A and B are shown apart, each in its own frame.
Chain A
Amino acid sequence: MDDLQFRRAILADPKSAEPNNAEQKHQNADLLAALQADPAKKQFAQELNQLDEKIKQALNIPVPEGLTEKLILRQTLASHQIQKRKTRVHLALAASVAILGGLLFNFMQFSSAYSNLGDYALAHVYHEQTSFANNSKNRVTLTSLNQKMAAFDGNFSDSLGELIFADYCRFDGMKSLHLVFQGKTSPVTVFVVPKNDQLSFSTEFNDKNLYGESLAFKHSNVIVVADENESLQQWQQNISNNIAWTI
């Protein structure tokens, strides 16, 4: 290693002349050998290390007081704002979910799972089948029936048969009148339902056990559901003859 090389190496990195600079030891073997061989070089390296110490002290300017606190404070403020933005987003999300939930609830509650009167009528009858026995001793008088019919602006002039049960019920979300008559083998159900667009009108419908017929009046539909032993036509005939609408 010549003198110029040596000076360049030391000036570029005075620490490379330190014997315990383990990281670059093998690279420094030449340098250290040259250092040991020549006292002048050793002197030079020492001077440079002193210079470096001075440089270090000079560079080591005081750090402003409270810089740590300022840095932490700024970060806390910044992350607080992010937090706030996040909470807003969360709030908006929660609100959206609530609105969606509300809409869904509405949809489920007020939209019909059945597309026509017949399907719904059958489902309704099956649902309440167990509540009515054909041999029930319960009787509802014509007067009390007509009181209820008043809500539909209708009136029966004569009894249609043995009325077991008469009350308002929800027919696919609409207030309607649910009548149960004694039939030949099983109860006959009559619904008086206000006219509505949601369910399409079906004149005749049936499944394996029950048959139904609907009759459309000006403001209401009258639906009769009974088993095969009943003459639905007869029932409809009776109803048409007996019913009178005030409007």
Chain B
Amino acid sequence: MMTKQVRYEALVKALHGDLYRYAYWLCHEKQVAEDLVQETFLRAWRALDSLKDEKAAKSWLITILRRENARRFERKRFEMSEYEEATITDTQAISNEQNIENDWLREKISQLPPEYSEPLVLQVLGGFSGEDIASMLNLNKNTVMTRLFRARNQLKEALEAKPENRKQGGL
């Protein structure tokens, strides 16, 4: 009993940040992301005995979270495309040069099609390899690499086009 508790708390402390960020980039809403993380960890707690390899914990949790997210859409299919404003405005409270840049990039990332942004988040934030991502998303590795390439390419192009955009008052 105690050791399970200790394991769980260690898991929460080590991975709740990564998981929350991943959830956020999946659903683009802070509250929903938090709920997803809560639901995920609750399920993880119940199934903790099935986690044998601690190194696999992160991808295990991400798999649970993806399933939870999918379940969310089974429950209600609407409420999809209204995230843009919320995403941008609520992170703009403290503004300096770096933050403005970040916010701009965040907007661009959230405008990426989800099939592009998800592998990108997993790769950059989660530190997963192409193979890992492929197995987590049930895709083959080439597809994943192509999507990563397109995701970065779009961001790079957007970034290169940015100065003009700014002069026009931003997109």
Contact = CB atoms under 8 A, between A and B. Distances in A.
Contacts of B30: 64
A247 interface: no
A72 B9 contact: yes
A80 B20 CA distance: 25
Interface in B43-88: 45-46
Given A11-B156, A52-B124, A60-B21, A68 B13 contact: yes
A72 B37 CA distance: 12
Contact of A71 (B16, B21, B103): B16
A24 B145 CA distance: 15
Interface residues of A, number: 29
B contact patch SS: helix
A11 B124 contact: no
B125 A12 contact: no
A71 B17 CA distance: 12
Contacts of A68: 12-13, 16
Contacts of A54: 101-102, 105, 159
Nearest to B44: A75
A45 to B, nearest CB: 12
Contacts of A61: 21, 24, 91, 106
B42 A74 contact: yes
A11 B153 contact: yes
Contact of B45 (A12, A56, A70, A79): A79
Given A63-B17, A71-B37, A55 B120 contact: yes
A74 B41 contact: yes
Contacts of A71: 12, 16, 37-38, 41
B13 to A, nearest CB: 6
A48 interface: yes
Given A12-B146, A13-B123, A78 B42 contact: yes
Contacts of B21: 59-61, 63
Interface of A: 8, 11-14, 23-24, 48, 51-52, 54-61, 63-64, 67-68, 70-72, 74-75, 78-79
6 contacts: A54-B101, A58-B106, A59-B125, A74-B41, A75-B12, A78-B46
